[in-house]
Amino acid sequence: MKQVTNKMSIKLESRSVNESFARQTVAAFVAQLDPTMEELNDIKTIVSEAVTNAVVHGYRDRLGIINITVRLFEDNIAEIKVKDSGCGIEDIERARQPMFTTGDEQRSGMGFTIMESFTDKLKVQSKLHKGTQVTLIKKIRGREERQ
C-alpha cells in the first residue's frame, strides 16, 4: 500500500438498526475511488457482515460502541477496520470456519467466510473480554483497468 489519500471514522452504538447506516456511509466514502457497482456492493456486504458480527457476537445482549475507520490509499486500496470492545473471540481459527457460530440457530455462521470472499485480505485480531478488530482490505480497480 502507498500513501493514505483520505480517511474517515465513525462510532456507532451496537444496535442492529445502525448496520445499514454503517454500510451506506462506508460505501459513500469509498465511492470517491470510482468503484464498479459490484465493488460497491462488495464493500456494503463486508461492512454489513463485520458490523453484524460485532452486534450479535461481540456485544451479545448488551450495548457497546462499534468503531469504524476507513483509509483510502493512492493505489486504490480501501482499508476498513471494524472494532468492538465486546467479549472477544476465544478461537479465531474456529470462528473463521464456515458454519461455525456462537449465535442462535438463526445465524448461518458464514460471516467471516463471506467477508473473506469479498475482500483481498481479511485480518482478525481479538482478545477475550477486550474485543475484536476486523481489518478488511479491498483493491478497487481503477478506471484504466476497467476499460
CA–CA separation, 98 and 48 (whole Å): 17
Count up the domains in the chain and report the number: 1
Q: What is the pLDDT of residues 42-60, one digit of tens each?
A: 999 999 999 999 998 899 8
Task: Name the burial class of residue 19, with classes exposed (0-12), middle (13-18) and buried (19+) by CB atoms within 10 angstroms of its CB.
Answer: buried
Which of 32-36, 63-67, 88-92, 114-118 shows the lowest per-residue confidence on average (mean pLDDT)?
A: 88-92
Task: Name the burial class of residue 26, with classes exposed (0-12), middle (13-18) and buried (19+) by CB atoms within 10 angstroms of its CB.
Answer: buried
DSSP class of 32 = G
What is the pLDDT, as a whole number, of residue 61? 84
The answer to whether residue 105 scores a pLDDT higher than 60 is no
CATH number assigned to the domain comprising residue 43? 3.30.565.10
DSSP class of 142 = P
What residue numbers bound the domain in which 99 lies?
Answer: 4-146
What is the pLDDT, as a whole number, of residue 70? 98
Q: Which residue type occupies 28? A: A
What is the pLDDT, as a whole number, of residue 117? 84
Q: Which residue type occupies 58? A: G
Neighbours of 17 (CB within 10 A): 9
CA–CA separation, 66 and 25 (whole Å): 14
Catalytic residues: 49, 53, 107
Q: Name the pTM for this structure.
A: 0.87
Contact (CB, 8 A) for 21 and 74: no
Which of 23-32, 73-82, 86-95 shows the lowest per-residue confidence on average (mean pLDDT)?
A: 86-95
The answer to whether residue 132 scores a pLDDT higher than 60 is yes
Q: Taking residues 70-74, report their average pLDDT.
A: 97
Question: Which set of grid coordinates corresponds to residue 142?
Answer: 481503477
Which of 14-28, 54-68, 86-100, 102-116 shows the lowest per-residue confidence on average (mean pLDDT)?
A: 102-116
